[in-house]
Amino acid sequence: MNASDESLDESSAEGETAVWPVFGDLMAGLLGAFVLMLMWLMSLHLELGMQLQSALQEREAEQQRRQVLEQVLAVPLAAGRVTLNNGRIGINGSVLFAPGSADLQDEGRQLLRSLSQPLATYLGTRREMLMVSGFTDDRSVREGRAPFADNLELSAQRAMTVTRALIDAGLPAESIFAAAFGQQQPVASNADAAGRALNRRVEMSPVPVSPSQRAPQR
């Protein structure tokens, strides 16, 4: 073997030796990237699991709430005097009020009296308040010459009338509030009398509140 061959062998050996550190760095980088990706996937899996658990707990709580409402309202529900849909207690407006009026009819006042104690029992065991919502059809109140500026004012006055009646019947004032929606959020078409009758309604919905939002009962 001559000198030139020996020189080539030495250069080749040195090149191979230099490759190993580069290869090691590359493998270390790939391993680090793999570890980071694995940690991210584990974190994502944990987060999704917690979200799923939270959603299941909320669903169970909602189902329990509806079951409790069905139990406390069993009598008026069985009599067909109220409806319960997705946690909303509905009362047909014609039961409570005459057309264009915000004065309670005798039948409506009696119904609210029968509801006050079951609702007070329900609210007394939960961190919830009762939202009383008034709704109307799309007919202008001026057509009946009612003493209201518009349907929103009529629905507001009806919601307040129901709220006061429930308080007078024994429901704690700090457990209830009124809301008005006028002709918004119809549940049926306003094209015929039957649909308009369904839209003229009052709904009562238990809504969750924080302890600081609800005054202590006396």
Question: At residue 172, does pLDDT exceed 50?
Answer: yes
C-alpha 139/C-alpha 159 separation (Å) is 18
Confidence of residue 65 (pLDDT cuts 50, 70, 90): confident
User: What pLDDT does 87 receive?
Assistant: 85
Which range is least confidently modeled, 8-12, 59-63, 98-102, 163-167? 8-12
Contact between 104 and 160 under an 8 Å Cβ cutoff? The reply is: no
User: What pLDDT does 216 receive?
Assistant: 43
Contact between 158 and 93 under an 8 Å Cβ cutoff? The reply is: yes
Contact between 189 and 144 under an 8 Å Cβ cutoff? The reply is: no
DSSP string, 33-102: HHHHHHHHHHHHHHHHHHHHHHHHHHHHHHHHHHHHHHHHTHHHHHTTSSEEETTEEEEEHHHHB-TT--
Question: At residue 173, does pLDDT exceed 80?
Answer: yes
**Main-chain phi, psi angles of 216, to 5 degrees:** -65, 140
Question: At residue 7, does pLDDT exceed 70?
Answer: no
Instruction: Give me the residue label for tokens 């057309």.
Output: 99
User: What pLDDT does 210 receive?
Assistant: 65
Contact between 129 and 206 under an 8 Å Cβ cutoff? The reply is: yes
Which range is least confidently modeled, 19-23, 42-46, 136-140? 19-23
- CA-to-CA separations, 3 to 8, 11, 13, 15, 158, in angstroms, rounded: 9, 12, 16, 19, 110
The average pLDDT across 197-203 equals 92
Which is more confident, 80 or 51? Answer: 80
Contact between 151 and 141 under an 8 Å Cβ cutoff? The reply is: yes
The average pLDDT across 130-157 equals 85
Q: pLDDT tens-digit profile of 86-110?
A: 889 999 888 899 888 899 999 999 9
- Mean pLDDT rounded to a whole number for the chain: 81
**So where are the chain's domains?**
1-60, 73-212
- CA-to-CA separations, 185 to 162, 180, 200, 203, in angstroms, rounded: 19, 11, 11, 12
User: What pLDDT does 215 receive?
Assistant: 46
Contact between 200 and 92 under an 8 Å Cβ cutoff? The reply is: yes
The average pLDDT across 45-61 equals 72
The average pLDDT across 139-160 equals 83
- Give me the CATH code for the 73-212 domain, please: 3.30.1330.60
User: What pLDDT does 37 receive?
Assistant: 82
Contact between 119 and 204 under an 8 Å Cβ cutoff? The reply is: yes
Question: At residue 133, does pLDDT exceed 60?
Answer: yes
Q: Which helix (H) or strand (E) holds 205?
A: strand 201-208
C-alpha 196/C-alpha 27 separation (Å) is 73
Q: Which helix (H) or strand (E) holds 133?
A: strand 128-135
Question: At residue 141, does pLDDT exceed 90?
Answer: no
Which is more confident, 28 or 158? Answer: 158
Confidence of residue 174 (pLDDT cuts 50, 70, 90): very high
